[in-house]
Amino acid sequence: MKHIRDPIYSEFIELDDLSLKIISNPYFQRMRRIKHLGLADYIYPGATHTRFSHMLGAYHLATKFIREFRSKGEDISDYDYDTIRLAALLHDIGHTSLSHALEYTLMPFTHEEIGKAIIKSVFGNILQKELIDGIIDIFERRSEPFKYQLIESQMDVDRLDYLRRDAYYCGVDYGMIDVERIIRSSTLFKGANGREFVITTKGIFAAESYIIARYLMYWSVYYHKTNIGFQSILFSLFKRFKDLISKGVDVWAPRFLKMCINAKTPEEVVPYILHIDDSLVFYTIQVWQEERDKILSDLAKRLINRVRFKAVEVKEDFVEMYRNLSEKCEKLGYDPKYYIIERTPKDIAYSPYNPNSEEHIKVLVNGKLMELSSILPTDTLKSLSREVYKRYIFVPEEVILS
């Protein structure tokens, strides 16, 4: 047993022998070299924390939840105890460099698809087949509901950790939620398909605070205009690279990166993604600054030197707005295909709470389950959960000024 300090939690994170074997694997160590929030440190300089620390945090919370359920008399076998905690530990193992910022840009696969391929092919030497099968069952929702609800739902160990962690390292106070109260008020409810993860009425205000924090973090960090602007440059940069190599243009890139881009299945990615981290990608971008292709070189220089694209909110006719900006781009010698990028909140990996979702937060009230916002004394959550649609076009600042 090892104990690790974490600034997010007052107690130690306990790692048993099995989890230590996983963490010591090179594929897990790779997560130390991947920033959790991608390019967010361009806006919040402290946001340099990693996927590694977040995955440990999710594991820690999963352990605490299961111990809480057991203390309340729930029969949770050692096998279930291990599969749930390991699913939390490995839930992000398939992330590529810069986390969500490059997802679907390098390869046409989600990090979940790549993660399952890694678990099956890499960790078979560490974990017994039945444990691997149990972890995959949780990811694919073939397990008892509470198991996958702890890992992926409207209120899960993933979100409960990253909201606090991201807020802490960004230097904002929005994510300081009462996780301990949520854990203490959590319980299991026997449903038609098995036990479900729910909270009692003692935890409704802590859960409400969590939803408010999620909303505020969404708009102030995850969908910050400047953050999305730099992600747009990154997207255009790799789009240009892929367009060039598809035309047979000789553009330098590390072999591992090219092999990942050319992979046809998640399984083909596995041997090469071990080498894909933030250092490799940023070194590649550094080299691209000197490429002969002017578009690739210019976009690389903008990203390295923090020369952002400016956001223009779409409040009028989109087609007319795009046409005007396209004409300005062409006059300045910019190809609109790479210098005009449209983004909406739905284009990022984070989302506000939706009380109408099948996965809404369930509260146990007098033996029945009710949706969280329906029993709160105010309509705050209902107001926060309504869709706020913002549409932006990102272009070089000189385009707007021209």
Where would I find the beta strands (DSSP E) of 174-294? 186-191, 194-200
pLDDT surpassing 60 at residue 300: yes
Mean of the pLDDT values across residues 324-332?
Answer: 95
pLDDT surpassing 90 at residue 382: no
The upper half-sphere exposure of residue 74, i.e. CA atoms within 13 Å in the direction of its Cβ, equals 22
Mean pLDDT, the chain, whole residue set:
93
Residues facing residue 200 across a β-bridge: 364
Mean of the pLDDT values across residues 108-136?
Answer: 96
pLDDT-based confidence at residue 175 (cuts at 50, 70, 90): confident
pLDDT-based confidence at residue 350 (cuts at 50, 70, 90): low
- Report yes or no: 334 and 397 within 8 Å, Cβ to Cβ: no
Residues facing residue 198 across a β-bridge: 187
pLDDT in tens, 254-274: 999 999 999 999 999 999 999
- pLDDT score recorded for residue 358: 74
Tokens of 68: 């809480």
pLDDT surpassing 90 at residue 279: yes
Structural domain including 68 reads 1-402
pLDDT in tens, 5-17: 999 999 999 999 9
pLDDT surpassing 90 at residue 384: no
Instruction: Say which DSSP state 220 is in.
Output: I
- pLDDT score recorded for residue 356: 73
CA-based radius of gyration for the chain: 22
pLDDT-based confidence at residue 131 (cuts at 50, 70, 90): very high
Cα 20 to Cα 1: distance, rounded to the nearest angstrom: 8
Mean of the pLDDT values across residues 125-137?
Answer: 96
- pLDDT score recorded for residue 352: 65
Mean of the pLDDT values across residues 345-353?
Answer: 62
- pLDDT score recorded for residue 149: 97
- pLDDT score recorded for residue 48: 97
pLDDT-based confidence at residue 348 (cuts at 50, 70, 90): low
- pLDDT score recorded for residue 255: 96
Q: Percent of the chain, pLDDT > 70?
A: 98
pLDDT surpassing 70 at residue 351: no
Residue 322 burial class via C-beta count within 10 angstroms: exposed 0-12, middle 13-18, buried 19 and up: middle
Q: Which residue has the higher pLDDT, 86 or 347?
A: 86
Owner of token pair 């892929």: 242
Q: 286-295, long-range: CB within 8 Å, 24+ apart, which pairs? A: 287/252, 288/237, 288/241, 288/251, 288/252, 291/251, 291/252, 293/240, 293/244, 293/249, 293/251, 295/240, 295/335, 295/338
What kind and span of H or E run contains 258?
Answer: helix 255-262
Number of domains in the chain: 1
pLDDT surpassing 80 at residue 335: yes
CATH number at residue 194: 1.10.3210.10
pLDDT surpassing 70 at residue 346: no
- pLDDT score recorded for residue 215: 86
Instruction: Report phi then psi at 374, rounded to 5.
Output: -75, -15
